[in-house]
């Protein structure tokens, strides 16, 4: 029997039991849709994290006070010595591999202007941060260059802060108060959004020394270091650790590299994606059992039909092929429907969260189609063999 006739015969048989066919197709579709959607979310999460760290700069070192063991994740631990501005200047000037370095001191304070006030995150830093973090100034300029010990009264506002304090009026040159300190607005950042947990539209930047005085601190939160090329990351990391160990007389800092963090997140999300696929695959197994049960019932109900086919000369192999074809059509229809449902659900998700790059990977789509077809063949084999082994005479008399 030609393949086209075999498929047409299978479709005709399935049309006779539409509710049963629909439920079987729906079972497979749910499983495939779950696989597609979950792999898309896992892959999207991985790409989102990689993009977030890429926005830091391609060759970045992050110096953190405190010596802890780490494999790339953000470390936490005790601090022996604080990071100071002198440490920052030493890293920036004494290591030839360092292209740029920027200190960070952080705190939270209330900003006031034009009769309005709100709480904001205050980042104390220098002009170098704009280059290290690839910050774009929408209007005005970033913090002025100069001695990091000089301090100053300049402030750069995030876009959201500027809009909430000044509305449509340009804030450049205006005076704002942060806590009890007066600052003159010199710039407003271009829209940036969230990055690594910080909303850059909701941050203000002031000179690092002024920030340390404002919050009565002598230590830095981080030192960000950019090197010339990816190949220099490892030797630069070693040089930073050795320099600060010399200054502190003990190795008491942690230096993490962007590629180490990205590699760790890649590994985590790959395992997470596979785990999600395994969980979603359980529903495919359940759907396969459902197809097998449907086909077993079909064999019992169509004994006379099977007997008639054999009496007319159909071979055991042909009867076997008919029932496997029916199971394959069920699972293939379910696979196609599941792909469509999974893709539409991801498109709807992306419409709600446009910054999240969710898309099913090619391997997941191909694997879903192969698995859906395999479910039909594997779980349709037992009923097909039972049908093929029926004695034609007993089948015709209904025994």
- Exposure string (b/e) for 264-273, b if CB count within 10 Å is 16 or more? bbeeebeeeb
Residue 151 lies in a domain: yes
| Same domain, yes or no: 216 and 283 | no
How high is the pLDDT of residue 70? 46
| Same domain, yes or no: 112 and 210 | yes
Concatenating the DSSP letter of every residue in 166-229 gives HTTS--TT-EEEETTEEEEEEEEEPP--EETTEEGGGEEEEEHHHHHHHTT--S-SEEEEEESS
| Same domain, yes or no: 162 and 104 | yes
What tens digit of pLDDT does each residue of 192-238 get? 776 655 788 899 999 999 999 999 988 899 999 999 887 888 899 99
Query: What stretches in the chain show pLDDT beneath 50?
Result: 70-79
| Same domain, yes or no: 306 and 368 | yes
| Same domain, yes or no: 329 and 385 | yes
| Same domain, yes or no: 325 and 219 | no
| Same domain, yes or no: 319 and 367 | yes
| Same domain, yes or no: 307 and 374 | yes
| Same domain, yes or no: 220 and 121 | yes
Please name the residues in contact with 286: beta carbons below 8 A apart, sequence gap of 6 or more: 27, 31
How high is the pLDDT of residue 329? 81
Residue 166 lies in a domain: yes
Task: Using the structure block, give the residue that is written with the tokens 């000037």.
Answer: 93
- Exposure string (b/e) for 231-243, b if CB count within 10 Å is 16 or more? ebbeebbebbbeb
Question: Domain range spanning residue 180?
Answer: 99-228
| Same domain, yes or no: 41 and 124 | no
Residue 240 lies in a domain: no
| Same domain, yes or no: 223 and 138 | yes
Residue 239 lies in a domain: no
- The number of domains in the chain is 2
Q: How many CA atoms lie within 13 A of 142 on its CB side?
A: 20
| Same domain, yes or no: 276 and 380 | yes
How high is the pLDDT of residue 305? 66
How high is the pLDDT of residue 46? 75
How high is the pLDDT of residue 76? 46
Residue 278 lies in a domain: yes
Phi-psi region of 193 (alpha: psi -120 to 50; beta: other; left: phi over 0): left
* Radius of gyration, CA atoms only, the chain: 33
Judge whether 259 and 50 are in contact, CB under 8 Å.
Answer: no
Residue 58 lies in a domain: no
Question: In the listed set 185, 209, 228, which residue is the last one of a domain according to the structure?
Answer: 228
Residue 140 lies in a domain: yes
**Cα(396)–Cα(399) distance, rounded to whole angstroms?**
8
Q: Is the pTM of this model over 0.85?
A: no
248 φ, ψ (degrees, to nearest 5):
-95, -5
């Amino acid at each position: 029997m030609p393949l086209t006739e075999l498929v047409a015969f299978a479709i005709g048989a399935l049309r006779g039991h539409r509710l049963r066919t629909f439920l079987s197709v729906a079972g497979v579709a749910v499983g495939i849709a779950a696989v597609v959607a979950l792999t898309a979310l896992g892959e999207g999460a991985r790409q989102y994290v990689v993009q977030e760290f890429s926005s830091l700069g391609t060759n970045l070192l992050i110096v953190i006070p405190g010596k802890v063991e780490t494999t790339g994740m953000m470390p936490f631990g005790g601090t022996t010595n604080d990071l100071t501005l002198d440490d920052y200047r030493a890293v920036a000037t004494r290591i030839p591999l360092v292209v740029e370095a920027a200190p960070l001191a952080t705190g939270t304070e209330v900003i006031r202007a034009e009769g309005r006030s709100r709480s904001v995150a205050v980042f104390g830093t220098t002009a170098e941060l704009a280059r290290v973090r690839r910050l774009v100034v929408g209007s005005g300029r970033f913090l002025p260059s100069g001695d990091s010990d000089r301090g100053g009264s300049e402030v750069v506002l995030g876009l959201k802060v500027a809009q909430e304090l000044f509305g449509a009026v340009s804030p450049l040159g205006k005076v704002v108060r942060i806590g009890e300190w007066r600052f003159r607005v010199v710039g407003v950042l271009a829209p940036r959004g969230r990055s690594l947990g910080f909303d850059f539209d909701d941050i203000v930047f002031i000179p690092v020394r002024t920030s340390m005085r404002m919050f009565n601190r002598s230590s830095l939160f981080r030192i960000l270091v950019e090197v010339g090329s990816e190949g220099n990351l490892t030797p630069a990391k070693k040089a930073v650790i050795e320099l600060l160990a010399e200054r502190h007389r003990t190795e008491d800092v942690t230096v993490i590299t962007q590629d180490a963090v990205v590699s760790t997140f890649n590994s985590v999300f790959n395992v997470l994606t596979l785990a999600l696929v395994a969980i979603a695959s359980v529903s495919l197994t359940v759907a396969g059992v459902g197809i097998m049960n449907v086909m077993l019932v079909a064999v019992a109900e169509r004994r006379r039909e099977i007997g008639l086919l054999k009496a007319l000369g159909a071979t055991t192999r042909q009867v076997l092929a008919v029932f496997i074809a029916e199971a394959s059509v069920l699972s293939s229809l379910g696979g196609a429907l599941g792909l469509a449902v999974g893709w539409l659900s991801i498109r709807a998700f992306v419409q709600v969260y446009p910054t999240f790059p969710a898309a099913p990977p090619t391997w997941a789509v191909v694997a879903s189609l192969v698995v859906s077809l395999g479910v039909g063949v594997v779980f349709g084999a037992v009923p097909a063999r039972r049908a093929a082994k029926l004695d034609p005479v007993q089948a015709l008399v209904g025994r």
